[in-house]
Amino acid sequence: MQNQLLDKTTQHPDGIFKGFKTTNISISVPSGDKNVPPAEYAVPGLQYWSLLSVLKSAFTHPLAAKYHLSLFKLFHLKAGTEVHKHVYGELYNLDEFIQEHNHIQCAPLPPQEQNCKHKKVVAALMYWSDLTHLANFRTAKLWPIYMLLGNLSKYICTQPTSGACHHVAYIPSVCEYF
């Protein structure tokens, strides 16, 4: 019953998936035997936002002012010594992140964008997913995919009401297709 109500809500133009696109996907499921090829299963109804739409939303959100786009290394100087210790507390302080930032600064612009005056930056996209139950004592559930930008401090990202989390997609339940 709960899943039927959820299905009606998701198909309504003003439902919870307003603005999402829908597509069908195919997944390969290994057989467990190396001599048997994986089986292909079609899973209809993947709801998603385009990556460009999510990025535009993230960079126009009020939190965008807090993104670290000009990178730096953080060091700790122990009192009474000359030893500088590199502190790794955020994604944007990592050597690899800074190296990629430097790499794109040196990269040439595409021919069609030679006159672009925008700053070149690294957008550190971090994704995760977790099953969400929609009702107590029922089986209604969603499997959302979320995105955060690693350019934002972990202290802001972990605040549930910060708005740092962006919904990217909802994966349909696949157990009924097997």
Task: Output the average pLDDT for the chain.
Answer: 84
Count up the domains in the chain and report the number.
2
**10 and 56 together in one domain:** yes
**11 and 60 together in one domain:** yes
**15 and 101 together in one domain:** no
- Find the domain containing 62 and state its range: 2-67+121-177
Given 110, 136, 164, the domain boundary residue is: 110
pLDDT above 90 as % of the chain? 46
Within-domain flag for 116 = no
Q: 29-33, 77-81, 172-176: lowest mean pLDDT where? A: 172-176
**126 and 54 together in one domain:** yes
Residue 100 has pLDDT above 50, yes or no: yes
SS3 (DSSP) at 169: strand
The Cα 160–Cα 51 span in angstroms is: 22
Residue 98 and residue 78 in contact, taking contact as beta carbons nearer than 8 Å: no
The Cα 74–Cα 95 span in angstroms is: 11
pLDDT value of residue 6: 46
pLDDT above 70 as % of the chain? 87
* pTM for this predicted structure: 0.73
Residue 160 and residue 152 in contact, taking contact as beta carbons nearer than 8 Å: no
